[in-house]
Structure 1
Amino acid sequence: MAAKVYIIIYTMYHHIYKLALEVQKGLEASGVEAKIFQVPETLSEELLEKLHAPPKPDVPVITVDDLKEADGFLFGIPTRFGTMPAQIKSFLDATGGLWSSGALAGKFAGTFFSTASQHGGQETTAFTTVTYFAHHGIIYVPFGFANAHLFDNSEVIGGSAYGAGTVTNGDGSRQPSEKELEIAQTQGKNFGNVIKTYKAGSGN
């Protein structure tokens, strides 16, 4: 049976969704089954309209129980003041039942990000998300510097050792660059290889 990874995102202006599509390509290239989900929205339609948010991407909304079905998760997180937004936190906060039963222990997780600026907290968002993984017994898989674009200082490039990323500008006008998209695809492929190797070794 093929390993299964869920890409779980929150995306208001679709920057994270665009990275997620590349992550999915990388996962599938590694031979892993990959599916994109979005977490439930916590903002009202009225407020989203005032924020000029486009329609949500056409991907299913995940439930807490869905997490039990996957071998691993890649969380796409837009940063809010150096940590995860309320929508992601609300979803993770609802996993207490899974924690009490140990349902997610031994699964794998990784992270990728978007921030308005180069110093908007992509790494601190990773740090503050890892606490959830630790309490669940989920194994965190950092990205490392697995793509050469992370060493490129000739232009703005999001991402770090903790995962792929994009820099959006405060108004969301900057879209993920080709290099950022390539980094996301590499992360998906590498994460998929980790999951696949584990599955093969465990005999699952």
Structure 2
Amino acid sequence: MTNVAVIYYSSTGQVHELAVAAAEAAEKAGAAARLRRVAELAPEEAIRSNPEWAAHRDATRDVEEARLEDLEWADVVLLGSPTRYGLPAAQIKQFIDTTGGLWAQGKLAGKVASSFTSTSTVHGGQESTILALNNTFYHWGAIIVPPGYADPVQFAPTNGNPYGAGSVSANGTARPTEDNLAAMRFQATRCVQIAAALRRGADAA
């Protein structure tokens, strides 16, 4: 069985919804999936100043926090983050920065990896955030699997990003569209399929 770790940070819930869709799609494709959020680093006063942020934080307390063990276990790693000035959020970057030990042991090399995001506006940095997350995968020696335009859902009006699934939150008030969620499901399923194909090839060799 292919193991999939969906590791994400979400403040007001959009990236969380994409992450849930990814984990569900991976399981439907026959994989074992772990849905994991990274630790919140923002001060309580900042969280409480935004009702949507506070509500989402409280609603997802039961989602397990990501651990390095989840990365070591996974054959597929999906990282999700909202954009912060065109870059991943500090919360997920902090988690990434703890992976040096696994990287030094070569335990992250060869994993299938992909990323996804959410922005406040249409041109708010989706591509740059995903590309920044993918920089991590280059260093790991992972095999980056983008969605590309390999499925008709990628041509839906609210999608169109070949780098990774995304949504536009309209400053935290809009939810991912069904097309956004379908694109996320396709991306996760594609990663599972390619990881399984790589395993079959390795076994045959």
Q: Same fold (TM over 0.5)?
A: yes
Change (3 A) 1:30 1:130: same
Tell me if structure 1 keeps the 8 A contact 2:36–2:66.
yes
Residue 82 of structure 1 corresponds to which residue in structure 2?
A: 86
Residue 183 of structure 2 corresponds to which residue in structure 1?
A: 183
Instruction: Give secondary structure in 1 for the equivalent of 2:129.
Output: helix
Aligned residues: 199
Change (3 A) 1:174 1:122: same
Instruction: Give, in whole Å, the separation in 2 of the partners of 1:115 and 1:198.
Output: 33
Instruction: Give, in whole Å, the separation in 2 of the partners of 1:178 and 1:185.
Output: 10
Give runs of ≥4 in structure 1 deviating > 6 Å.
none
Instruction: Give secondary structure in 2 for the equivalent of 1:174.
Output: coil
Q: Relative contact order (alpha carbons < 8 A, sep ≥ 6): 1 or 2 greater?
A: 1
Instruction: Give, in whole Å, the separation in 1 of the partners of 2:11 and 2:191.
Output: 25
Counterpart residue type for residue 153 of structure 2: H
Counterpart residue type for residue 43 of structure 1: A
Change (3 A) 1:186 1:123: same
What is the deviation of 1:201?
2.2
Tell me if structure 1 keeps the 8 A contact 2:117–2:165.
yes
Instruction: Give, in whole Å, the separation in 1 of the partners of 2:95 and 2:59.
Output: 17
Change (3 A) 1:169 1:111: same
| 5+ residue gaps, structure 2 | none
Instruction: Give, in whole Å, the separation in 2 of the partners of 1:93 and 1:82.
Output: 19
Instruction: Give secondary structure in 2 for the equivalent of 1:203.
Output: helix
Q: Give the % identical residues.
A: 36
Residue 200 of structure 1 corresponds to which residue in structure 2?
A: 200
Asked if 1:128 is matched to 2:128, the reply is no
Counterpart residue type for residue 188 of structure 2: G
Q: CA RMSD in A?
A: 1.6
Find the partner of 1:148 among 152, 156, 173.
Answer: 152
TM-score normalised by the chain length of structure 1: 0.91
| 5+ residue gaps, structure 1 | none
For residues 45-194 of structure 1, the aligned pairs below 5 Å read: 45-52=44-51, 53=53, 54=55, 55-57=58-60, 58-153=62-157, 157-158=158-159, 160-170=161-171, 172-194=172-194
Residue 27 of structure 1 corresponds to which residue in structure 2?
A: 26
Instruction: Give secondary structure in 1 for the equivalent of 2:41.
Output: coil
Tell me if structure 2 keeps the 8 A contact 1:12–1:56.
no
What is the deviation of 1:97?
1.2
What is the deviation of 1:127?
1.5
Counterpart residue type for residue 179 of structure 2: K
Tell me if structure 1 keeps the 8 A contact 2:159–2:183.
no
